[in-house]
Amino acid sequence: MKHRPHRPLRPLLCEPARLAAGAGFVLSAAVLAACGGAGNPLGNPDDIANETQAGARKLSFVYFQHCINPIFLAQLTIRQGGQTSVNSCAAAGCHDDANGTGGAFRVRSTAATVDLATTSVDAARQTDMYKNFYSAQGEVVFTAPLDSRLLAKPLVRGVLHGGGLIFESEQDENVRLIQYWITHPMPQGQDEFSTAANAMFASGTPAPQNCNTP
């Protein structure tokens, strides 16, 4: 059996360039650009810059610290593998900031309530309570509250949760509080400390016992 001599490999051309070359045309910059880049047609395409999102709305910090953070500290019933136990989200081995194994969501259990009347915005953003707020907000899907990991995981809705089933249904009071927080962002152009959040409390007074729910 005869072996054909090895032919050197030729550079591959994208379809517009191949057709142009086959017709005897000189490859222009426009043809090369059609191959996915303005330079070498065999190279990577130009970088694509994501558009900057303008006017993004913020969730309320004051509602978080009075109505949401306490949920993470509460002793909640856990159902897992046919067993029932009690623990908190902020416990070591769960979402504790120091020793937790619960992924990116972290809770500082000793975070103190911030008095926004006497604390500057810059100072508030350095507190442990704000760190809890920022971490929780990172688990939120603004357009689909129940798809947020902050709810989908403890409800075990299509996602694994190492901590087991925490909330049995969407009617759980804690689920309703978290949903209310997610679905009531601050007005466009106002930050997370906006006093517009007072409307999220009964009688307009921020306090744990006054938290509105859906």
pLDDT at residue 200 greater than cutoff 60: yes
| Residue pointed to by tokens 């395409």 | 45
CA–CA separation, 198 vs 206, rounded Å? 6
pLDDT confidence bin for 38, thresholds 50/70/90: very low
pLDDT at residue 18 greater than cutoff 50: no
209 φ, ψ (degrees, to nearest 5): -80, -5
CA–CA separation, 158 vs 139, rounded Å? 15
Q: Are 96 and 107 in contact (CB under 8 A)?
A: yes
List, for residues 102-155, the tens digit of each pLDDT value: 666 788 989 999 999 999 999 999 999 999 999 999 989 988 999 999 999 898
pLDDT at residue 195 greater than cutoff 90: yes
Copy the structure tokens of residue 63: 């509602």
pLDDT of residue 214: 86
pLDDT confidence bin for 40, thresholds 50/70/90: low
pTM for the full model?
A: 0.71
List, for residues 68-83, the tens digit of each pLDDT value: 999 999 998 888 888 8
pLDDT of residue 87: 83
pLDDT at residue 96 greater than cutoff 70: no
